[in-house]
Structure 1
């Protein structure tokens, strides 16, 4: 009897064919109320799950006694209780590497758009407000030569540093769990504590994961250390930031602006004050949202799942303690 794989993410025809050739496949096309009911109904017979953007907590996964693997189509794993999965010997995999460059592109797009007020001024033109040459009240700020501060120096942090150092001649400051000599040598970067980075960087960019230690890391105290000309960029996770403190820092002029691809609550509430601020560029969590990258992520997730259900160690195994080999 074929094993049962439950998908809560659409795949390309080619990837679907690969799974359907070996497994019974259930596709849940939308994660609305009906889709969540379909997921709960499918869990008792499921051997593997593949998807993203939903929190799979123990109370839900307790409904899946046969579950062997979860292939997450993402890098972040904050939607999973890893200790619980490991205890049950359920393999959790993710999709690192394939979205590194694309997410770093998004980060730099937000740096440029926020510094040069691209969205605000494009809307001015669209609304017919461009009647004469713009003056100082519409000027932006330079990016080249400014100090780039990166909080979290993993793969995406390194890709962001590469763009800043080689493309824009930016001095690079970074803060992470420990110094990274190779990063310092390649990008002429300087390791420093978080307070120093917040005080000295012109652009403060978050690329770190959401954990118990990082949740709420950038709070009112952190914003108070930034300078009025600072621009804040978040391509990490929304909950790393105290959003109320961010809004107050923007309103008060404590910082110049913010480029945000992630938020405490997603989708962002329509009445969020962030949407009323000209000095905010807000995008709908598009870090990896290109045709090429999303297909590469899905392909990586499928390969992880195929390996796990074949009794092989997946290439991108998150919880090594769950491995039975």
Structure 2
């Protein structure tokens, strides 16, 4: 039987032919049921897995794939891939950090504009026959804080500083020596120095609920939050309370704790803009991310170093 690549990602079907050169047959299993069935029926054949950070690959699944050699993650985050289980088996893990940065940055700015300028509510009002003119802030001259200045954060910073004349500051695990943006020593300090706070950091234990009640209070009643990173970065209950009590002015969210489930409390709020984790989706970025997977697989099976290895130390 043909060795196989198990594809768990649900949004790349049109680009799967890019992977044909890797020499593996494809098993496409984008739902929990089809995923479990594929692992049960074809576990012996599966040599590679293609997944996303929120979809992950868990220890019990890795154990059920005795011939698994490589796990390829589309996008930067790999928070639900069990790296310890992969490391014990000597399985290579790669990601696609930075490949879809332009699309994500575009979406972050679109969310920020829609939120601050109240576009969804204005549109809905006109459709209802209303003609309500509400004064809203502009972006020019405002302070933008970015949590996570990787490829996506840098792309957002460039758009904000050069396109909207905003002052940019950021918080990272370490300051960057290659940028002129102001560094904040913590998420709390960043929020206090920001009118708009954009979350562009990966998920995982290191960033879990980093944005909590204290950070939201520091952002303040005129501050806006945009999250295109991971839902886990925000303490959702604290965010809902802050929005309900107008402790912050509003939030725009593309990511959530338990996708595709979104809390009803968020849906009920007029000061929230919601999108279904689509920031990284564009024809250009999707093609590029799948091509990165193909390039990593080609390098791996040619006995060469993969292009974007996930650190496996620890």
- 5+ residue gaps, structure 2, are none
Kindly state the Cα deviation for residue 129 of structure 1 after the two structures are TM-superposed: 2.0
Kindly state the Cα deviation for residue 275 of structure 1 after the two structures are TM-superposed: 0.9
1:18 corresponding residue in structure 2: 21
- 5+ residue gaps, structure 1, are none
Cα distance between partner residues in 1 of 2:3 and 2:301? 8
Please give the secondary structure, in 2, of the residue aligned with 1:40: helix
1:89 corresponding residue in structure 2: 90
- Counterparts of 1:266-277 in structure 2, within 5 Å, are 266-269=259-262, 272-277=264-269
- Counterparts of 1:38-49 in structure 2, within 5 Å, are 38-49=38-49
1:158 corresponding residue in structure 2: 154
1:317 corresponding residue in structure 2: 309
Q: Compared with structure 1, are the counterparts of its residues 245 and 215 closer, same or farther at alpha carbon in structure 2 (3 Å cutoff)?
A: same
Cα distance between partner residues in 2 of 1:41 and 1:56? 17
Segment drifting more, 225-234 vs 33-42: 33-42
- The TM-score with structure 2 as length reference comes to 0.92
Q: How many residues matched?
A: 309
Please give the secondary structure, in 1, of the residue aligned with 2:57: coil
Tell me, yes or no, if the aligned pair for 1:69 and 1:92 is still in contact at 8 Å: yes
Cα distance between partner residues in 2 of 1:182 and 1:140? 35
Instruction: Render the CA deviation track for 1:116-141: whole Å, top value 9, x for unaligned.
Output: 001111111122223xxx34xx2221
- The TM-score with structure 1 as length reference comes to 0.89
Cα distance between partner residues in 2 of 1:155 and 1:23? 31
* Partner of residue 285 from structure 1, selected from 267, 270, 277: 277
- Structure 1 stretches of 4+ with a deviation exceeding 4 A read none
Instruction: Render the CA deviation track for 1:182-203: whole Å, top value 9, x for unaligned.
Output: 211xxxx211223222112100
Matched, 1:235 2:228: yes
Instruction: Render the CA deviation track for 1:18-56: whole Å, top value 9, x for unaligned.
Output: 24xx2233233x314244322332223211112335231
Alignment root-mean-square deviation, CA: 1.9
Please give the secondary structure, in 2, of the residue aligned with 1:12: helix
Which one has the largest radius of gyration? 1
